């Protein structure tokens, strides 16, 4: 089993006449490691140390090659980045790896697209701008960062096409250090801010773009960028194909390995993930009447976590739409949602212009009748998404209740649960929750069935059980039993015991 270099794309610092350097560096390796999205910077010495440990591990495993597929650095500014003391241990680790005979390749990401010959000369690595094709056991494998596949994010694609233009690279190389530092800080800050306002669908890899690459004779694509591990078969009319996406190393330690002719994805590796976990997020999804609200309230109280009732945000928009005389089924409510001063209290309750929104308004008959139509609007969902995600940074943990908490809002939540119950049980619970509405059990059952159909069949963020989420049928379980089970799951996830 061997890997051989087939075709470089955008090799930094060489032209087409320098073929010996392209093909001659390093031998044909038999064992290789792949990783991406370290986001290293001086302000994160722990992250730099974990990256160094990873390289040490690769050396211990007698690897022949190490491929780092973009965003290794939060920002690379050329020669001046070589002088950053906080990055010195990692740069020394790269140098040690190449000196020991390991072929080390770095590809440009959207954060470190200014890597160039200065890094090659200092550390003995190879730097490529876009893609690199290698042969693995007779298959053609394309290595890339992965951002080129996220074509729904039009603004991102436009910006990075501008930034990577030759004239811009020429300008960056000549900017004074202080100005370049300020520009890099602003770009990173703006990227972080705008990412929080975009939907997961907008930022996701578009599979059809990958299939186009597979149609060119590529058998496997390996990339990162989207911070979510994935290993899928994408069949084409010509042949089968495989997409391997590594999650961000920074947060998960995710990487891929080539050993004994097998390319394996390791979605999470605790050895290289941060030792101190972030807030514990618990997502509780499910249809109406499954017990979400009651379970979420009691679990949050018991854990001492804020409670995010995502439905309350959509209900607030619905209430404001009705007050403005708008039809949620016909009017685009995204501009209205954008104009509202929506927020969350420390306890996770919805605020409007700084004031708590009364539950009596949110649960009114009129709002309940139209909220499903409001939540189906993609523009409204995009406006409310960053508000929901901000709740995950409120404290030591969060209980988030809704219909797409695990699939869209918090896909990396530590505990993900999908509650359900038999239709007749759900209808009885719903009737007991709203006895003042005057509906019969039959009417409630019909209304729930209609809502299930709308929520499950909508194009954007449909009601669905997230992959890996625990399914819990609450039909025969008491509130105490359900909360007890979830509490145990949280203790196991957070190692509180």
- CATH number of the domain that residue 315 is part of: 3.40.50.300
Write out residues in the chain with pLDDT < 50, as ranges.
Answer: 1-27, 193, 196-197, 237, 496-497
Residue 478, CB half-sphere, CA atoms under 13 Å: how many?
3
Both 252 and 314 in one domain: the answer is no
Please report whether residue 274 resides in a domain: no
Q: Are 21 and 94 found together in one domain?
A: yes
Q: Answer yes or no: do 127 and 13 share one domain.
A: yes
What pLDDT is attached to residue 182?
66
For residue 266, the SS3 value is strand
Polymer length of the chain: 497
Instruction: Decide if 312 is inside a domain.
Output: yes
272 in a domain, yes or no? Answer: no
In 3D space, the residue among 137, 133, 148 whose CA is nearest the CA of residue 212 turns out to be 148
Query: What pLDDT sits at residue 192?
Result: 52
Q: What is the pLDDT of residue 473?
A: 92
232, 340: one domain: no
- Classify burial at 379, counting beta carbons within 10 Å of its beta carbon; exposed 0-12, middle 13-18, buried 19 or more: middle
Instruction: Tell me whether residue 154 is in a domain.
Output: yes
244 with 304, same domain: the answer is no
At residue 144, what are phi and psi to the nearest 5 degrees?
A: -160, 170
Same domain, 127 and 250: yes
- Based on the fold, state whether residues 254 and 393 are members of the same structural domain: no
Q: Are residues 195 and 285 in the same domain?
A: no
Per-residue pLDDT tens for 278-329? 678 999 998 888 888 889 989 988 887 888 888 899 999 999 999 999 998 8
Give start and end residues of each alpha helix (H) in 364-439: 365-375, 378-390, 423-433
> Is-contact 394 387, C-beta < 8 A?
no
Phi, psi of 49 (to 5 degrees): -65, -40
Are 7 and 143 in a shared domain? yes
Nearest to 93 by CA among 144, 26, 133, 40: 40
The whole-number pLDDT of residue 187 equals: 62
Local structure of 473: helix, strand or coil: strand
Residue 271 lies in a domain: no
Q: 454 in a domain, yes or no?
A: yes
- Edge-to-edge strand order for the sheet containing 350-352? 342-344, 350-352, 355-356
pLDDT score of 249: 94
Same domain, 295 and 238: no
A 10 A CB-CB count for 160 gives 16
* In a shared domain, residues 138 and 233: yes
> Which of 266, 295, 321 delimits the end of a domain?
266
Give the domain-ending residue among 239, 266, 293: 266
Same-domain status, 177 and 38: yes
Structural domain span for residue 418: 280-494
Q: Cβ of 13: how many Cβ atoms within 10 Å?
A: 14
In a domain, 273, yes or no: no
Domain final residue, candidates 244, 266, 288: 266
Residue 190 has what pLDDT?
A: 53
**Longest pairwise C-alpha distance within the chain:** 82
Please tell me the total count of domains within the chain: 2
- Residue 3's pLDDT is 36
How many alpha carbons lie under 13 Å from residue 41 in its C-beta half-sphere? 14
Q: Given the DSSP bridges, would you call strands 103-107 and 65-69 parallel, antiparallel or unpaired?
A: parallel
CATH number at residue 100: 3.60.21.10
Distance CA 412, CA 128 (A): 31
Domain presence at residue 275: no
């Amino acid at each position: 089993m061997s890997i051989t270099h087939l075709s470089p794309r955008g090799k930094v610092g060489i032209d087409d006449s320098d073929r010996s350097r392209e093909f001659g560096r390093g031998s044909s390796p038999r064992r290789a490691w792949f990783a991406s999205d370290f986001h290293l910077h001086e302000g994160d010495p722990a992250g730099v140390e974990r990256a160094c440990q990873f390289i040490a591990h690769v050396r211990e495993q007698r690897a022949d090659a190490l491929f780092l597929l973009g965003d290794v650095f939060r920002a690379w500014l050329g020669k001046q980045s070589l002088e950053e003391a906080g990055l010195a241990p990692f740069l020394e680790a790269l140098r040690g790896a190449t000196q020991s005979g390991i072929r080390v390749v770095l590809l440009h990401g959207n954060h470190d697209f200014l890597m160039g010959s200065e890094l090659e000369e200092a550390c003995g690595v190879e730097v490529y701008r876009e893609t690199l094709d290698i042969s693995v056991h007779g298959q053609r494998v394309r290595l890339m960062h992965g951002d080129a596949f996220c074509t729904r994010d039009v603004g991102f694609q436009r910006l990075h096409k501008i930034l990577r233009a030759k004239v811009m690279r020429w300008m960056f190389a000549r900017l004074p250090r202080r100005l370049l530092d300020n520009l890099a800080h602003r770009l990173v800050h703006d990227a972080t801010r705008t990412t929080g306002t975009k939907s997961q669908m907008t930022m996701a890899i578009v599979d059809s773009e990958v299939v186009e690459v597979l149609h060119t004779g590529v058998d496997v694509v390996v990339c990162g960028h989207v911070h979510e591990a994935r290993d899928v078969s994408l069949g084409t009319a010509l042949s089968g194909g495989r997409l391997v996406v590594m999650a961000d190393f920074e947060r998960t330690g995710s990487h891929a390995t080539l050993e004994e002719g097998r390319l394996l994805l390791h979605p999470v590796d605790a050895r290289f993930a941060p030792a101190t976990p972030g807030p514990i997020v618990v997502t509780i999804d499910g249809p109406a009447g499954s017990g979400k609200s009651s379970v979420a309230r009691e679990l949050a109280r018991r854990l001492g976590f804020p409670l995010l009732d995502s439905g309350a945000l959509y209900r607030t928009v619905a209430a404001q739409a009705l007050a403005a005389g708008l039809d949620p089924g016909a009017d685009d409510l995204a501009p209205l949602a954008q104009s509202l001063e929506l927020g969350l209290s420390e306890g996770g309750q919805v605020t409007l212009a700084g004031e708590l929104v009364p539950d009596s308004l949110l649960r009114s008959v009129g709002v309940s009748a139209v909220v499903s139509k409001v939540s189906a609007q993609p523009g409204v969902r995009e406006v409310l998404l960053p508000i929901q995600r901000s709740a995950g940074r409120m404290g030591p943990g969060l209980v988030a209740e809704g219909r797409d908490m695990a699939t869209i809002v918090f896909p990396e939540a530590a505990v993900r649960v999908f509650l359900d119950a038999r239709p007749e049980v759900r209808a009885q619970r719903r009737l007991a929750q709203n006895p003042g509405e005057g509906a019969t059990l039959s009417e409630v059952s019909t209304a729930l069935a209609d809502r299930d159909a709308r929520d499950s069949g909508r194009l954007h963020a449909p009601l669905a059980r997230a992959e890996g989420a625990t399914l819990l049928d609450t039909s025969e379980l008491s509130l105490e039993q359900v909360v007890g089970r979830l509490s145990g799951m949280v203790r196991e996830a957070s190692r509180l015991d």
